[in-house]
Structure 1
Amino acid sequence: MGNNESTPNNYSKTLKQISNGKDNNPLFKYKDDRKFLKKADMYYFLPIDELESDRMQLRHDVEWHVWRTNFSSPIETTLKLGGAQVLDVACGSGLWALEMASDYPLSEFVGVDVAPIFPSDVMPSNVTFKQCDVLERLPFSDCSFYYIHIKDLFQYFPSKIIRDQLFPDLVRILKPGGWIEIQDRDPNMINAGPICKRLEDMLSLSFLNRGIHVKNHYDDMEKLFEKNNLIKYRSDKKSIPYADLDLAIQDFLSTYKAMKFTLTEYSGVTAEEFEEIVENASKELIPSNSEFVSRKYFGQKPMIYDI
């Protein structure tokens, strides 16, 4: 899955271009053979390569274990009947859209992301992917979609950008009666051990330097839905002990390692020291009875007669 850089020959060619200083792509930069957006100082500061696709698969599997569903909004009947247009924002490797397209073959699914790590060849006929900057005006007409899905909102979009740019544009392209749903993971766990707490402090500092205030992000979520005139707002959260799910420990390790360059930028910790901190933190999760928290927020665009 993903672009052709996943093949050994192309990957070697890419590394050679990097080492020769010939990779002049205006979107991307490379650190220790990992591929990043050049806008990573603003948002989307995880890598965008094959290893990141693997991490997204792992996160997807963990979240499925938590919720046992790909959505919580009351949309299943409409999806089954068919004809519904669904948008997956910051779709990453496209896993969510592909599963939904397979489960609901009579509806249409579109995934958009600034990073083209989604499939480009074999896929269900009712799913398409588009590369675009999701912080620009989205390339869709008003009232195009019945359902809009965003996953891992906190990692990719600083609160001010969500409030001032992204969310109003999502409401613009949402049909009256349609739903927006956000699935997110708390950056702070329950019962964090001392090494895990150190990682969380490094994460908070990194977010703060990007204009993201952890507490405000969640406190403002209901206000965000209300300000954009969405009704029937609901939120839900679930906490899962790491001891109950080995996949979650793998997810912890892969996610923090993927954020290595971002978190070491402001902490004064070297990349090698950071790797050791992450490994030691993962060993605290079970003895400390640590739990991770997954959240969902969803609301509906009113019909004309509801306004």
Structure 2
Amino acid sequence: MGNINSHLKRRRPSIKKIPEFDQMKSDQERQEKLIDFYLSTSIDSIDRQHMYHFLRAYIFQSNFSSPVEDKLIEGGYKVLDIGCGAGTWLLDLSNKYENSHFVGVDIKPVYPHEIKPNNLEFIEADVINGLSFHDNEFDFTHIENMSYVFTSDQWDFVLSELIRVTRPGGYIEVGDRRNGYVGEGPIFRKLTDAIWATYSNRGIDVKLLYNLDSKFALQPNIGKVHRVEKEFIVGPNGGKIGLVWQDMSISYFKSEISSKILSEQIEISEEEYKDMVEKLDNEFKQTSPECVHVRYWAQKQLLE
């Protein structure tokens, strides 16, 4: 379900064309070409979002885990994505499932404004202020990579809003990755610990994802909460996917905002910080840090 290989028929801003992508014969070849392509891509913040979308789809072998693909193909299905960012997930799905309708919401309008499929719309809004949609408006509501944005109390509200706007019988899905790694080296550990510390300083529970299914299950009108986990090794010891994550990580650490914030958190100079990051390449060759991604999905109960 949720085949990741969308039919990229329309030209879109920010998503780079992969040479001969359309001529590839099999799904596996397409997946491999995407990974190969991203290994040599120069990326900024938006490009990392595009890359991360394909990485997640690759490790799960799907864009979603909820059992909704048949309905999406059938058409008339309405999908909402909260915190849609650059809109990559929605662009992928809206091209593949042309007879269904998709809506993306984000507080920052970095999504495409003009060049997009007719069955896709974006709305600038903050879910914390409440969603403007009617009750029971969507068949499938989705939120991903937002577990380190909201506090625990805010998550209660966000989940309640997702459930509110989902039709009875529809599905709600939440996805992200666990904080921390297993088997990382000292440099990578120090850098990632600094990231989690900055979140904790803002009142974010970085361990929330471990128990989000319990919080999810406490919401009214929710059936069994399903949990799907996928893991991979970061760096060359993890193959192509590990190299993609390594590339994303180093790019993130080298960004101007990361250099400033994380060096302050570690209490070292920016020059010392940059020297640490330069040593990551070699450390990844000698370690096998494991990264875990999680998806939770549940069905809204039919009204009696």
TM-score class, shorter: 0.7 to 0.9
Q: Give the partner amino acid of 2:267.
A: G
Q: 1:211 aligned to 2:210?
A: no
Shift of 1:70: 0.4
Shift of 1:265: 4.3
- What's the CA shift string for 1:220-252, capped at 9, x where partnerless? 302221111321211111111222122121112
In the other structure, the counterpart of 1:7 is: none
What percent of counterpart residues are identical?
31
Please, which runs of 5 or more residues in structure 2 have no aligned partner? 1-11, 15-42
User: Does structure 2 conserve the Cα–Cα contact (< 8 Å) formed by 1:146 and 1:179?
Assistant: yes
- What's the CA shift string for 1:83-130, capped at 9, x where partnerless? 111011110101100110011111100011011110011111100011
Shift of 1:297: 0.9
Partners of 2:272 and 2:147 lie apart in 1 by: 26
Among 242, 249, 259, the alignment partner of 1:252 is 249
Q: 1:135 aligned to 2:128?
A: yes
Partners of 2:261 and 2:82 lie apart in 1 by: 22
Q: Give the partner amino acid of 2:252.
A: T
Partners of 1:138 and 1:2 lie apart in 2 by: 27
Q: 1:184 aligned to 2:176?
A: yes
Please, which runs of 5 or more residues in structure 1 have no aligned partner? 4-49
Partners of 2:230 and 2:126 lie apart in 1 by: 31
Q: Give the partner amino acid of 1:203.
A: I
In the other structure, the counterpart of 2:3 is: none
- What's the CA shift string for 1:202-222, capped at 9, x where partnerless? 12211210112322x024302
In the other structure, the counterpart of 1:225 is: 216
Among 169, 172, 183, the alignment partner of 2:164 is 172
User: Does structure 1 conserve the Cα–Cα contact (< 8 Å) formed by 2:13 and 2:115?
Assistant: no
Partners of 2:93 and 2:219 lie apart in 1 by: 26
Tell me: CA distance 1:263–1:160, structure 2 relative to 1, closer, same or farther (3 Å).
Answer: farther
Q: Give the partner amino acid of 1:209.
A: N
1:1-307 matches, within 5 Å, as 51-163=44-156, 165-215=157-207, 217-229=208-220, 230-242=222-234, 243=237, 244-245=239-240, 246-258=243-255, 260=258, 261-305=260-304
Partners of 1:301 and 1:109 lie apart in 2 by: 19
Q: Give the partner amino acid of 1:166.
A: V
Partners of 1:2 and 1:136 lie apart in 2 by: 29
Q: Give the partner amino acid of 2:166.
A: L
Aligned residues: 257
- What's the CA shift string for 1:53-73, capped at 9, x where partnerless? 111012112212211210000
Shift of 1:2: 6.2
Shift of 1:287: 1.2
- Give the secondary-structure state (helix, strand or coil) at the position aligned to 1:153: coil
In the other structure, the counterpart of 1:14 is: none
- What's the CA shift string for 1:242-301, capped at 9, x where partnerless? 221221211121233456144344332333333332332343223111222111111111
Partners of 1:272 and 1:154 lie apart in 2 by: 31
Partners of 2:290 and 2:60 lie apart in 1 by: 15
**Root-mean-square deviation (Å):** 1.9
Q: Give the partner amino acid of 1:210.
A: R
Q: Give the partner amino acid of 1:147.
A: F
Q: TM-score scaled by structure 1?
A: 0.78
Partners of 1:113 and 1:271 lie apart in 2 by: 32
Q: Give the partner amino acid of 2:245.
A: A
- Give the secondary-structure state (helix, strand or coil) at the position aligned to 1:231: coil
Tell me: CA distance 1:298–1:257, structure 2 relative to 1, closer, same or farther (3 Å).
Answer: farther
Q: Give the partner amino acid of 2:302.
A: M
